[in-house]
Structure 1
Amino acid sequence: MRTERDVNPASSALASRFAAVRALTADLVAPLSDADATIQSMDDASPAKWHLAHTTWFFETFVLRDHVPGYQVFDERWPFLFNSYYEAEGQRHARPRRGMLSRPSLDEILAYREAVDSALLAALPDLPASVRDLVALGCHHEEQHQELLLTDILHHFSINPLQSAIWPGDPKVPVAMPGPTGWIEGRTGVIEIGHDLVSTGPGKTRIVSSVSTVSTGFAFDCEGPRHTELLHPHALADRTVTNGEWAAFIADGGYRDPRHWLSDGWAWVQAERIAAPLYWEQGDGGWTRFGLDGRRPVDPAAPVTHVSFFEADAYASWAGARLPTEFEWEAAASGHDPNGGNQLDAAGAVEPRPSAGGPAFFGDVWEWTGSAYRPYPGFRPAEGAVGEYNGKFMSGQFVLRGGSCATPRGHVRASYRNFFYPHQRWQFTGVRLAKDL
C-alpha cells in the first residue's frame, strides 16, 4: 500500500495542476446546453463538445493508452472522432463536419472526462518523468483549448440573431481615454531570443525545459532553441491601439483606401466586405460590439480586438508606423511579469480592459507581429506523434505575442509564440505599433 511518504512531490504538484486545469474547462462549459455545445459556426471553430473530448483524448492516447499497462480505451470508436491533426494516429473525422456530431451527447463526453481523469490520477504516481512531461504538455494543450472554447463559443453565439449573453458582464464604469501613444526605445545589437529547451540527443528535444539561468519551466518546442538575433534601432508603443483610435481609422476611410493594405489584405477586404473589427456594428447610437456578455457599446478606451493581421498591418501603415517583429517584442517584454495583466482566472465574461497605466505586455489582446511563423535555427520537432504539435504548421502564418483576456493566467511567457493565418480574427487579437529610429 502506498503511504503518504511514498508520494513523489513532483507527481503531487502535477496532479493538483491537472485537476485544476480540468476543472476550469468544466466550469467554462457549465452554462451550455447540449445544443449549444454541439454547433459549429465556421470551419475555424469547433464545438464545445469536441474541445471537451479532444483534450481528453490527448491524455487517454498519449499517456494512458501508451504508458499504462492494461488500460482499456473508453470507447474504441471515439479516437476517430476526436483526433485533431495527428497523422500518426490515423484517420479522423473531417474538421468542417465536427458540428454534425450530435452524438455522443454532452453528458456522455463529461462521463468520458471523469473516467479518464480518474484513471490518470491513479496512474500518475507511478509514471516516469518522461511521461509526466506528457501530462504537463497535455495541461498546457488544454489551456490552449480553454481559450479556443471561449472564442469559439463567442463566435457561435454571435451569429444567433438573439445575441444572447453567455455570462453577465460587469457594470461599465467610465474610464478616461489614455493619452497619446508613448514610445519605448528597444534594445539594439545582437541579443538572445527564445527558450533554452533541453537537448536529449541528436534530433531529440524534451518538451519541458530544465531550470536554468536563462529561462525556466515549461515551453513548447517552437519556442526554441535559444539563439541570437540582430535588432536595429527601434521603438515600441507603450500600449496597444484602442477602440477609439480604431474608430478614427474607420472614419478616415481606412477600410476604403487601398494605399494602406497589402495586396492579399485588400483582396480579402473587398471579397469579404470588411468594414470594421469582427463583432462591431454601427447603429444610431454609435458602434457596438458583441461579447460573451452580449451586445454592448464599444468602449473607446479599451484595446481594439478581433482584428486580423491584414487589418493590423493596414492600421500601422495609416498611423505612420509598422508592426513589431517578434524579436523586438520579446526583447521588450522579457522584463515584465507574464502573470500580470488581464488574463483568464475563472469562468465568466472576458474582454479587454482599458489600460491601468504603464506599459503592459501580457494579457488583454494577443499582439500581431510582422514575423512569419517559421522555425528557429536548430529547431527539431519532438519524436513521435507529439512532434506534429507545432512544427508542421510553420507555413503561411504570422506570430502573435503576449496572451489575452481569455488566456489562462500562467500559460504564457515572453518566449511564447502563438500563430494564426493573416485573415483570421475570431481570437482576441490586437495591435501594438512599432517604428524605426
Structure 2
Amino acid sequence: MKRIVLGVSAGIAAYKSVLLLRLLREAGHHVDVIPTGNVANFVGNATWEALSGNPVTSNVFDAVDTVNHVRLGQQADLVLVVPATADILARAASGLADDLLTGTLLATRAPVVMAPAMHTEMWQHPATVANTAVLRERGVRVIEPASGRLTGKDSGPGRLPEPDQIFESIQDLLSEPILAGRKVLITAGGTREPLDPVRFLGNRSSGRQGVALAQAARDAGAQVTLIATHLEVPAPHGVELVHASSALELREAVFAHAERQDALIMNAAVADFRPATIEGSKIKKRDEHSAPVIELVRNPDILAEIVCARGANDQLPPVIVGFAAETGDDQGSVLDYGRAKLARKGCELLVVNEVGANLTFGTDSNTVQVLFADGKPAVGAAGSKIEVARVVIGQLAAEINGHVADAK
C-alpha cells in the first residue's frame, strides 16, 4: 500500500479525478485528497471524503495541530495533481505555497506527477510551455495531455487523459522498487563520427528509448548513470549524466564507468564505421564535378568487447543487455538476425526491434522482443517507449536477482 496525495485543481476535468481516486482506492492505496479552493464548483468535498475515506480540506488553517501543509507531503509516497491547470503549473514552477496543495508540493520529497488539462491555447502558451519545462527539469513527471474534445465546441491538445490511462502510466511508481540498491549503466543516443570540423557521419537515433530506460530504471529504485551521445530529448532528472560523441569516446566512457555496476544496458546506436582520417579544415568543393572519396574503417564492437573483458575482470557488470536495431531481408527476418547477434555478442539479454524510416528512430513508440541467452522464451513489448522500457527493466531486474541467487 502506498500513501498518495491526490491534488485536484479547479478545471472541468476534475470529475475524472473522482474516477482516478476510485482506481487508487480499489488498488488498496491510502489517498489524501487536496482540492484547490475552487474545485468545489465542480466536485464537492463530500464526494472526495466518501471515496477516499479521509477528511478533505484545501485550507492550511484546518487541523493546524497536525501541520497538514508539511505533514501530508512528508508522509506521501507519491503526489499526483490531476487535473493540473495552467494556474497550478505556474504556481508550482514559481515555488508558491499559498494553499494546502502548493505547500504540500514544496514539502514533499516523494515523486510528483502532474496531468495538465486546459484549452489548447493555454497549453501552448509560452508561459505554460516554460513552466512545464521547469517542472520537468526538477524531476516532476508531467503527463502529456490528450488531444480531443474540450469544453464547449473546442477541440485539440489539452484534454485530460482518461483515468485508467493515468493509472496505468504511474504503475511503476505504485509498485515496489525492484532495482533498489542496484547500479545500472545505460548508453543512449546516436554517435557522430567526424569527417571534418563541420561534418559527421551519424544515424537517426533520437535517444528517446535510452532516456526512457534511464527513467524506468531510476523509478525502479536504481542508481543510474547515463552515458549520452546525442539526444533529441532531455535526460531524466536524478541520474548521473556523462557525455560522449563518437564511438571511440563512448567506448572510453563505458569502460571508465562499468566497474562495480550491477548491469549495463547498451542502447546507444553506435556507428559501425568511421572515417579513416578527419580533415583539419572543411572539405571543399574544388570544382563542379569532383567529389571526395571517404575511406571508412570499422569501429570497435563495444558490446562484444566488454562481454569478453568480464573474463579477466570480475568487477564488470554480471548482466549486460544489448540492443539490436535490425531490418529483415531475403536472407532472414528481424528475429533471425537478433538471435544470431545474441549468440555472437554473448550478453545475457538482447532487445531486438525493427527499424526504418518511419519505425522506432525518432518516434514515441516501439515494438521489441527481449531475447535471453539462457534460452528462456522471448518476451514481447509494444507501446510508448516508456512502456517498453518498463518491460525491459522488469526483465533486467529478474535477471539481476537470478544472478545474485546463483552467486549464493
TM-score by length of 2: 0.26
| Higher strand content, 1 or 2 | 2
Greater Rg by CA? 2
Q: Larger RCO: Structure 1 or Structure 2 (Cα < 8 Å, ≥ 6 residues apart)?
A: 1
TM-score by length of 1: 0.25
